[in-house]
Amino acid sequence: MEVYDYIVVGAGSSGCVVARRLSDDPQARVLLIEAGGDMDDFWVHTPAGMAKLFASQRFNWRFKTAPVPTLGGRQVQWDRGKGLGGCSAVNGMIYMRGQPEDYEQWARAGNAGWGWDDVLPYFKRSENNARGASAFHGDQGPLSVTDPVEVHPAAEDFLAACANAGIPRSADLNAPPHPAAGLRQYTIRGGRRHSAYQAFIEPVRQRRNLSILTGAHATRVLLENGEAAGVEVQHGGRRRSLLAAREVVLSGGALASPQILMLSGIGDAAQLQRHGIALQRELPGVGRNLQDHWYASFAWRVIPGSSVNHRLSGLRKYLEGARYLLTRTGYLALGAAPVTAYVNSEEGGRADLQLSFNAMSFSATPSGEVAADGYPGISASVVLLTPASRGHMELASSDPLQAPLFHPNYLSHASDVRRHVAGMRRLRKIIQTPPLGLRVVEEVKPGPAAASDEQLLDYLKRFGGTAWHPVGTCKMGHDDQAVVDARLRVQGVRRLRVIDASIMPTIPTGNTNAPCIMLGEKGADMLREDALPARAVAA
């Protein structure tokens, strides 16, 4: 038997932070477990290489949802990082925190210590922001947060069009107020992706008190007398038991952490019984409260000089590649859509839409990769940030190596439909507003034929996509659906916590990577503050 003080399951955006901060104490023996492997690869490190990762079996779990009735039975691919760094190693590298109201909402739901003023110091702690320290940012943390290396004139015209449409320009989208439009920041360092693993673990990987086990699929939490005693993993073709003297932390994300709880006998009694799993602790909320961001993508043909498509296709793409290799600049050094606007769908409401713009347009190839279109094009998307729709996930079987069933229930709430269609109309209006509108030749996707609300909704259902932000499946709270308390402890099970996106009661109004890193920072502090005496463990 191998014994550690803390076992952290999942080396993603939260788990890497937890393991790093716990191992800052040289007396704490920390084990970080990851089901995937190393992610040291050119296309992982290259920001624009994210398009190559959609079809990757090596670096991407490539989950699929169950058929979604509200989308006409479509199955949606849910890309999730498979290896050290988790989703931070395959995502668009966007550093967005959401709005202060997101966290105030968590606190109002009875989660003490989770308001905006409570979480802001943890966002700042992790950051090494290229803009320097301020009331909203830090510059001493491990995680590099930088501005885009290049902004196309058409992107600047998008911001000017937003201003002409009544959406003011913001110098910092990670600070109030909203609505606002501006440049995004990215987790990019020196023209290379800066994942949670690279930021938090790689610099300290040689610590004697930090162990990392890759290729190890957690199969269940080991429980003794109502408390977590360790973790069972499938590794190298055999089962291994790893023991924790202090606590076990699940940081597998909103899809894996609830699955591990269920496999351990923690969850809805009826569901566990169906799969022959002995009930250890009834928590019917495990796997419920699933939330995600859904978006619609638009594309327009534009006049020459208004798009970078020509730089990313044909022989020119090799010149762009050489430029990146020599200088770590250019479009291969950019993350997803460098400018965006946060707007409200309804008069007087809070900012609930994200309108993101790119001076290129792209389509999926038959292999599943994404490539620039052959014409001069621009694209933009509408993301509904505060969905009212709720889904759930459940076990497909008691086999821990079989993916669960995901039921996202997109667009099942009438307000989501109404607000999303309103956002699509608002995006169209902004794109046609000068000065950007002077560049537009015609709308290609969905095209002028999609004019009525019904036609726009049909397009949203048939061609919309996930923003890959699933959260909420082990929610924090005090009601009968809560899984963890405000200290992130699993209800009724000692020495077991969940620290990842699954604990979010409601989804943040932005990308989820930065909030997950914040959760890791705050959760690690809680582990230290609540330090339990070590269990007597016979190794």
Please list the active-site residues.
Answer: 469
d(CA 476, CA 481): 9
DSSP 42: H
Q: Which two tokens stand for residue 40?
A: 């040291």
Cα dihedral value 97, 102, 104, 108, nearest 10: -150
d(CA 153, CA 378): 12
3-state SS, residue 6: strand
The H-assigned helical ranges of 182-248 are 196
CB 51 within 8 A of CB 371: yes
Angle at 285 between CA 281 and CA 290, to 5 degrees: 145
d(CA 204, CA 190): 20
Cis peptide before 515 (omega within 30 of 0): no
The identity of residue 149, as a single letter, is V
Residue 327 to residues 46, 182, 297, 333, 404, Cα–Cα distance (Å): 12, 26, 31, 9, 43
d(CA 404, CA 402): 6
CB 13 within 8 A of CB 88: yes
Q: Which residues of 160-179 are buried (b: 16+ CB within 10 A; e: fewer)?
A: bbbeebebeebeebbbeebb
CB proximity list for 405: less than 8 A, separation 6 or greater: 66, 393, 394, 395, 396
CB 500 within 8 A of CB 250: yes
